[in-house]
Amino acid sequence: MSLALQTFSSVKDANTALQAPGTRYLGGGTLVVRAANEGDVSTSSLVRVTDSGFSQIAVAGGKVRLGASVTMAAIASHPELAALTPAARAIGGPAIRNMATVGGNLFAPAPYGDFAVALLALDATVVTEDGETPIEAFLAGRDTSRAIVTAVGFALPKTESFRFLKVSRVKPKGVSVLSIAALLQLAADGTVVSARIALGCMADRPIRAAAAEKALLGCKLTPREIAPALAAAGEGIAPITDPIASAWYRAEVLPVHLGRLLSN
Partner 1 sequence: MAKVPVQFTLNGSENAEFIESGTTLLNALRDKIGDTSPKGGCHQGTCGACSVIIDGELKLSCLTLAETCNGADIKTTAGLAEGGVLHPLQRAFLDAFATQCGFCTPGMIMAAKVLLDRTPNPSREDVVDALSGNICRCTGYEPIIQAVLVAARANSRTAA
Nearer to partner 1, 98 or 263 (CB): 98
Q: Closest approach of Cβ 4 to partner 1, in Å?
A: 5
Nearer to partner 1, 142 or 173 (CB): 173
Nearer to partner 1, 26 or 139 (CB): 26
Strand 45-49 relative to strand 4-8, pairing: parallel
C-alpha 240/C-alpha 219 separation (Å) is: 30
Nearer to partner 1, 93 or 218 (CB): 93
Q: Closest approach of Cβ 23 to partner 1, in Å?
A: 12
Q: Closest approach of Cβ 83 to partner 1, in Å?
A: 20
Residues engaged in binding partner 1 (CB under 8 A) = 1-5, 7, 26, 28-30, 33-34, 36-38, 46, 48, 73, 92-96, 98-99, 172-173
> Residue 199: exposed, middle, or buried by beta-carbon count in 10 A (0-12, 13-18, 19+)?
buried
Which of 122, 152, 116 has the alpha carbon at shortest distance from 31? 116
Q: Closest approach of Cβ 40 to partner 1, in Å?
A: 12
With contact defined as beta carbons under 8 Å apart, do 219 and 189 qualify? no
